[in-house]
């Protein structure tokens, strides 16, 4: 039977009440203490409407207790980031139709007297996260308790987490993998350990100082640590599991991390917010000599979880070994907060023919979610080839930026590489590349690409930066790069 998010936490409170549940800076809260704080916040929330609550707080005990407080009342939490522009948070609040916003610094009642908690139905919404919409308006992704419970039932035993485990929380609550971190820990009796933003960028120091056993982050953190020459062999002996999500994990990144944490099992996992955090995974073999070596230089995203179904469809909607990845099953969300967003994002089969959902008929569990991600099957594993909407057409040629990025990453000294299309002087798009690393020469990199790739795939220029711009979730900010490069081209 599906459990609510709070049920997962409450089970650990009952069994491990005196174990530490949360560490934020110098502050430590046991499961009993965190439950008590959440109850007091919930008692304050219950004095007004609380069906859908915005949480405007970050990386504090109040943040996590507030998250649990909303769940305690059977409400839906909508995370807001204090570092985001006010206009963005206002747009999310309006789209989510919030009853109220819980803010850092709000008064916490001295007791939970009068609290009347509610156990939600499995089909009630646990949380709503907002992703960038194609129209420029934030797009709300609601996740039900049923979806989250199916996910936790898989990942908690998968990653061997329990009392004594210490789980990193590198993601802000506006990013869905934060839910993985929180409830992987709280659903098993482990400790959630929250780094500051600066500590995230110094993973070796943080892992060792806090004795982290389970690390999870975006792969960009590896490149940042490499640039600081922090990933020395054997430098992270406490790690038992190292998990990476949110963007492509390159083989070079994985090799560097494996050398620094040789006792850790290393897994690349993948999933859009709409499929409840992650839906595929691949654990690299212990011996790097046994690692698969896809042509694009990335670690495979592996196979779909056993309780999910997946299919790969070509551009004509037929099953194929390369094309768009589509999934359905117990983790698939019920549809966007604004139903108008559903059209085109799902499909069903009429016999062998894929029919794209047009939004007129009811959306059912039989519909497949279209991820918009292009994959290829290689030796039984799925390899992520990039977003369908990142594919560009330059001078009549269709180009996958990931193929050019892989060629750049093969060059000595290159740590990071991103290729984007920017408007050229004649109004047509041109490829531009950005690289990070040591002792790099843009002209030399271009010359190397000309020896390896067809001329139409060679970028017009290579810009060398100290580091790639990241968005608040730690992913490479491609939009910022396009703006930077377009500005340079305009000069």
399 DSSP β-pair partners: 392
Instruction: Give domain status of residue 377, yes or no.
Output: no
* Other CB atoms within 10 A of residue 300 CB: 26
Residue 423: the pLDDT is 78
Whether residue 405 sits in one domain with residue 274: no
Cα–Cα dist 32/446, whole Å: 59
Q: Can you tell me the distance from the alpha carbon of 452 to that of 446, in angstroms, rounded to the nearest whole number? A: 10
Question: How far apart, in whole angstroms, are the C-alpha atoms of residue 193 and residue 58?
Answer: 14
**213-266 pLDDT tens trace:** 999 998 888 988 988 889 999 999 999 999 999 888 999 999 999 999 999 999
187 found inside a domain: yes
Same domain, 112 and 250: yes
Q: Which pLDDT band holds residue 132 (cuts at 50, 70, 90)?
A: low
Does residue 349 sit within a domain? no
7-62 pLDDT, tens digit each: 999 999 999 999 999 999 999 999 999 999 999 999 999 999 999 999 999 999 99
* 364 lies in some domain: no
More confident call, 114 vs 313: 313
Residues 76 and 221 in one domain: yes
pLDDT, average across residues 150-171: 97
The pLDDT, as a whole number, for residue 135 is: 45
**Which of these three, 290, 319, 342, is where a domain ends?**
290
Residues 282 and 398 in one domain: no
Q: What pLDDT does 281 receive?
A: 98
Q: Is the pLDDT of residue 80 over 80?
A: yes
> Which has the closest alpha carbon to 283: 295, 298, 265, 270?
265
Among 273, 290, 307, where does a domain finish? 290
Residue 134: pLDDT above 90? no
- Does residue 139 share a domain with residue 25? yes
Do 282 and 395 share a domain, yes or no? no
DSSP conformational letter for 305: -
Region of poorest pLDDT, from 159-173, 214-228, 255-269, 460-474 = 460-474
Residue 334 lies in a domain: no
Query: Helix crossing, 177-186 with 145-158: angle to 10°?
Result: 70
| pLDDT higher than 50, residue 454 | yes
CATH for 206: 3.40.50.12780
Residues 205, 203: Cα–Cα separation, whole Å: 6
The CATH number of whichever domain residue 401 belongs to comes to 3.30.300.30
Instruction: Indicate whether 416 and 285 sit together in one domain.
Output: no
Q: What are phi and psi of 366, to 5 degrees?
A: -75, -15
Beta sheet of 191-194, edge-to-edge order: 27-30, 20-24, 191-194, 166-168, 214-217, 241-244, 265-270, 280-283, 303-304
Quick one: 105 and 231 in the same domain? yes
Domain hosting residue 145, numbered range: 5-290
The SS3 of residue 95 is: helix
| Residue 356 located in a structural domain | no
Q: What is the mean pLDDT of residues 455-481?
A: 85
Q: Is residue 242 part of a domain?
A: yes
Q: What is the 3-state secondary structure (H, E, C) of the chain?
A: CCCCHHHHHHHHHHHHCCCEEEEECCEEEEHHHHHHHHHHHHHHHCCCCCCEEEEECCCCHHHHHHHHHHHHCCCEEEEECCCCCHHHHHHHHHHHCCCEEEECCCCCCCCCCCCCCCCCCCCCEEEEEEECCCCCCCEEEEEEHHHHHHHHHHHHHHCCCCCCCEEECCCCCCCCHHHHHHHHHHCCCCEEEECCHHHHCCHHHHHHHHCCCEEEECCHHHHHHHHCCCCCCCCCCCCCEEEECCCCCEHHHHHHHHHHCCCCEEEEEECCHHHCCCCEEEECCCCHHHCCCCCCCECCCEEECCCEEEEEECCCCCECCEEEEEEEECCCCCCCCCHHHCCCCEEEEECCEEEECCCCCCCCCCCEEEEEEEEEEECCEEEEEEEHHHCEEECCEEECHHHHHHHHHCCCCEEEEEEEEEECCCCCEEEEEEEEECCCCHHHHHHHHHCCCCHHHCCCEEEECCCCCECCCCCECHHHHHHHHHHHHHC
290, 324, 353 - which closes a domain? 290
Residue 421 lies in a domain: yes
Q: Which residues pair with residue 387 across a beta bridge?
A: 373
- Write the pLDDT tens digit of every residue in 369-408: 999 999 999 999 999 998 887 767 676 566 778 888 888 9
- The predicted pLDDT at position 113 comes to 93
- On the question of pLDDT at 426 being above 60, the answer is no
Mean pLDDT of 331-340: 96
pLDDT at 406: 85
Domains in the chain, number: 2
What was the pLDDT predicted at 471? 76
Contact between 326 and 311 under an 8 Å Cβ cutoff? The reply is yes
């Amino acid at each position: 039977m599906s459990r609510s998010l709070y049920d997962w936490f409450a089970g650990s409170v009952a069994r491990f009440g005196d174990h530490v549940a949360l560490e934020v800076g110098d502050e430590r809260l046991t499961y009993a203490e965190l439950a008590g704080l959440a109850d007091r916040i919930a008692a304050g929330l219950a004095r007004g409407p609380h069906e859908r609550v915005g949480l405007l707080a970050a990386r504090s005990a109040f943040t996590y207790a507030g998250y649990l407080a909303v769940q305690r009342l059977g409400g839906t939490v909508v995370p807001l980031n204090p570092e985001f522009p006010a206009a963005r948070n206002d747009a999310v609040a309006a789209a989510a139709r919030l009853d109220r916003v819980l803010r850092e610094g709000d008064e916490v009642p001295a007791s939970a007297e009068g609290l009347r908690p509610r156990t939600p139905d499995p089909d009630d919404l646990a949380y709503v996260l907002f992703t960038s919409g194609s129209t420029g308006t934030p797009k709300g992704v609601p996740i039900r308790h049923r979806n989250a419970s199916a996910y936790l039932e898989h990942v908690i035993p998968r990653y061997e987490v329990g009392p004594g485990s210490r789980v990193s929380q590198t993601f802000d609550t506006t990013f869905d993998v934060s839910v993985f971190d929180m409830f992987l820990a709280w659903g098993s009796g482990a400790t959630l350990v929250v780094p500051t933003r600066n500590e995230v960028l110094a993973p070796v120091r943080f892992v060792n100082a806090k004795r982290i056993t389970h690390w999870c982050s975006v792969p960009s953190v590896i490149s940042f640590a490499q640039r600081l020459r922090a990933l020395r062999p054997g430098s992270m002996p406490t790690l038992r599991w190292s998990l990476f999500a949110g963007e492509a994990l390159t083989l070079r990144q994985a090799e560097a991390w494996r050398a620094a944490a040789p006792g850790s099992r290393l897994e690349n996992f993948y999933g859009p917010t709409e499929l409840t955090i992650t839906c595929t995974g691949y654990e690299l073999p212990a011996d790097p000599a046994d690692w698969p070596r896809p042509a694009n230089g990335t670690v495979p995203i592996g196979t779909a979880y056993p309780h999910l179904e997946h299919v790969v469809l070509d551009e004509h909607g037929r099953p194929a070994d390369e094309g768009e990845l589509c999934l359905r099953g117990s983790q698939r969300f019920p549809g966007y907060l604004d139903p108008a967003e559903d059209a085109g994002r799902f499909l069903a089969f009429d016999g062998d023919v894929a029919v794209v959902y047009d939004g007129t008929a009811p959306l059912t569990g039989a519909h497949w979610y279209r991820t918009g991600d292009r994959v290829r099957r290689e030796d039984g594993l799925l390899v992520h080839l990039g977003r369908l909407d990142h594919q560009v057409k330059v001078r009549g040629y269709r180009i996958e930026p990931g193929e050019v990025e892989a060629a750049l990453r093969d060059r000595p000294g290159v740590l990071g590489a991103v290729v984007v299309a920017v408007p050229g002087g004649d109004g047509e798009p041109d490829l531009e590349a950005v690289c990070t690393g040591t002792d790099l020469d843009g002209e030399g990199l271009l010359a190397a690409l000309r020896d390896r790739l067809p001329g139409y795939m060679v970028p017009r220029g290579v810009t060398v930066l100290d580091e790639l711009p990241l968005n608040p979730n730690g992913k490479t900010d491609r939009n910022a790069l396009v703006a930077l490069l377009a500005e340079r081209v305009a000069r």
